[in-house]
Amino acid sequence: MGRGRNTAVGCALAILSLTAMAPSASAGTLQPRVINGVPADGSDSFVVALLDAPVFRTEGGFQSQFCGGTLTTPTVVVTAAHCVREDNGTTLLAQDILIGVGGDLDSPTLRTYPVTSVAVHPGYVASSAINDIAVLTLGSPVTGVATLLPLRPEEAPAVMVTGSPVRVLGWGNMSRNDEEYPVKPVMGALTLFPDSTCGGGGTYLLNGVRFTGFGSEDADPQFEVCASGVRGTRTIIDSCEGDSGGPLVSGYGAAARLVGVVSWGEKCSGRRPGVYTRVSAMFPFLVQTGAFPATPSATTAVPASTPIVAPQPPSIVVQPKRNALVVTFTVPAATGATGYAATAVNSSSGAVSRCFTKPRADGRTPFCTISKLRAGTRYSVTAVVGNASGTSAPTSPVTAVPARR
């Protein structure tokens, strides 16, 4: 399911002409061609390559690249869990991974940085690709390139809107019927699909092409987002093998955000969308692993009259409901909270569920509901609060059991 590469080479975007794949075409004309990819410019220098360290030492960057990633701070790379988790369940050793910075995998100026730790989301499920995200910590800071802020839960309603333009970057396969990889990253313009196509089995018409979505047995819109692109009326743009772990990006400049991580798909540039890990749903994990910068974002507006202090963990009350837990948050007024997140971990299976909320306009105590839980099962609940200065540490775990009725 994943869009990593079975062999270490480069990666880019599969951008194929539907007319080139028409059933009436002869075998000699079935040559999909890249028709809408463009080189990633300097503003997207946050996209990095994951390199197999032993292969790199003998064969260089192009042959050793196996996934993509996003530099969210000078010392942290966000990628896909399936990029660093083996089929047998073991995680790749940090010393076996290098991060390539600079874009051109064949260039002698390609900079490499050692990885000192690998953190896979504790709720990652390989069979379903739920929570397909991982964080790599680097041994030294990357300098001279842009970093990209992950999307926070409180920003998501305004950004994750059906039909919004996004872009995907990587070094993945550019051919559906062969292996064709570039040495420099390629950018493809995509569109966010409705949640109904990413777990509801719905369809979506984009520029004359009707896409068939995934049902609930394949995708979950709480943790995943679907996207593809169409140029004109007959050309589908999609991520492909080798793009795994790379960024799905919304906006430019100070407004740019990491909104998704390349996770999986069926056929590159087919009439099903690509599936991406929903970054805003990974907020607690990204906070705990240092994927957010420690300093306030330059784009975060804070009223001068609001005394902002470093956030401390909130106080929480957990109330059982039918197949759900309601989490109420309390923080000092001086915290200047901008958002809250609660996480429930199934004590038996390790499955992770979350909810998010913002401060209430009426001044009442904020709360959110973690739904679709298993009644009668113990859950360990933690919470964090964020403000303009960053995000708090998690609260101490609270054990709770969803009610049966």
Contact 187, 172 (CB under 8 A): no
Out of 244, 250, 263, 269, the active site residue is 244
**CA separation, residue 78 to residues 74, 104, 105, 325 (Å):** 12, 20, 19, 29
Sign of CA dihedral 84, 89, 95, 96: negative
CA dist., res. 386 & res. 379, Å (int): 23
Helix (H), strand (E) at residue 157? helix 156-159
- Identify the CA nearest to 49 among candidates 84, 91, 100, 7: 100
CA dist., res. 189 & res. 36, Å (int): 8
Annotated active-site residue 244? The verdict is yes
Out of 45, 52, 64, 132, the active site residue is 132
- The type of residue at 56 is F
- Identify the CA nearest to 336 among candidates 391, 260, 403: 391
Beta-bridged to residue 111, according to DSSP, are 101
In whole angstroms, what separates CA 386 from the centre of its chain? 19
CA dist., res. 308 & res. 361, Å (int): 19
CA dist., res. 221 & res. 213, Å (int): 11
Contact 14, 268 (CB under 8 A): yes
Contact 245, 262 (CB under 8 A): yes
Q: What is the dihedral of CA 304, 293, 191, 278, to 10 degrees?
A: -110
Q: What are phi and psi of 27, to 5 degrees?
A: -60, -35
Sign of CA dihedral 8, 9, 12, 16: negative
Contact 136, 79 (CB under 8 A): yes
* φ/ψ bin of 148: left (φ > 0), alpha (ψ from -120 to 50), beta (otherwise): beta
Active site (catalytic) residues: 132, 244
